[in-house]
Amino acid sequence: MGPSGPGSRGPACADSSGVLLVRKSKAKPNGKKPAAEEKKMYLEPEYTKSRITDVGFKELVVLPREIDLNEWLASNTTTFFHHVNLQYSTISEFCTGEACQTMAVCNTQYYWYDERGKKVKCTAPQYVDFVMSSVQKLVTDEDVFPTKYGREFPSSFESLVKKICKYLFHVLAHIYWSHFKETLALELHGHLNTLYVHFILFAREFNLLDPKETAVMDDLTEVLCSGGGRGGGGGDGASGGGAGAQNHGKER
């Protein structure tokens, strides 16, 4: 099985244990009040307009004729993993245990659970390491993401892709929420916006992300993904709770 999407499967990440599993908790993150009213620089028009290409991603994500659905999902999911990993690496030196003591996005905090279901208290960089290591293990597993001719995808493949997309979304959202200033200073916000649009429209095309999961970034999604991913107004904006959905503190 050869890659049929933009990019191919490949580079390894740091080795950590962990599984693609998330559960909700009722405790407040660090006992601190979330910065709900903090100004979101990434929503400023001068920055949301920035892209590295003007291609219409809404058309690009559609399943091509003669391409197997699972193959299309596998190729694109692997490519998104590599790009999100690369995008995070550009600001990883700023995402430290001291600066990001929790994996937070707006009023939401994400927790990691190990293979035994035990809650792991970790910083944002540790959480991202768990995500990248677990996804790397999956996309290089021939029993899950087969690359050899004649190998079949497992019956659980779509659900695994959904879990991967959920975790990649967490990483992208954290970059916007906690590290957009650094991304801006590096002049990589156009790359980040382009990646976010492509990823969200692909996930939306194949129902890979629960709207409740992505509600925390609905305001950004509305701005970036309206107009088929070209940054226009109206039309294909995000569905769901919108910016108002961010007014309630929660943990996952």
Confidence of residue 97 (pLDDT cuts 50, 70, 90): very high
Is 95 annotated as a binding-site member? yes
Q: What is the DSSP annotation of the chain?
A: ----SSS-S----------S------S-GGGPPP-TTS--GGGSHHHHT--S----HHHHTSPPTT--HHHHHHHHHHHHHHHHHHHHHTTTTT--TTT-SSEEETTEEE-EE-TT--EE---HHHHHHHHHHHHHHHHT-TTTS--STTPPPPTTHHHHHHHHHHHHHHHHHHHHHHHHHHHHHTT-HHHHHHHHHHHHHHHHHTT-S-HHHHGGGHHHHHHHHTTTTTS-SSSSPPPSSGGGGGGS-EE-
Among residues 18, 238, 252, the alpha carbon closest in space to that of 127 is found at 18
Domains of the chain (ranges; CATH) run 29-35+45-251 (1.20.140.30)
Query: Quick one: pLDDT at residue 230?
Result: 52
Checking if the pLDDT of 78 tops 90, the result is: yes
Is 225 annotated as a binding-site member? no
- How many other C-beta atoms can be found within 10 angstroms of the C-beta atom of residue 10? 13
Query: Quick one: pLDDT at residue 121?
Result: 81
Supply the pTM of this predicted model. Answer: 0.76
pLDDT (tens digit per residue) in 154-208: 999 999 999 999 999 999 999 999 999 999 999 999 999 999 999 999 999 999 9
Is 100 annotated as a binding-site member? yes
Averaged pLDDT score across all residues of the chain: 80
Is 174 annotated as a binding-site member? yes
Confidence of residue 237 (pLDDT cuts 50, 70, 90): very low
DSSP character for 30?
A: G
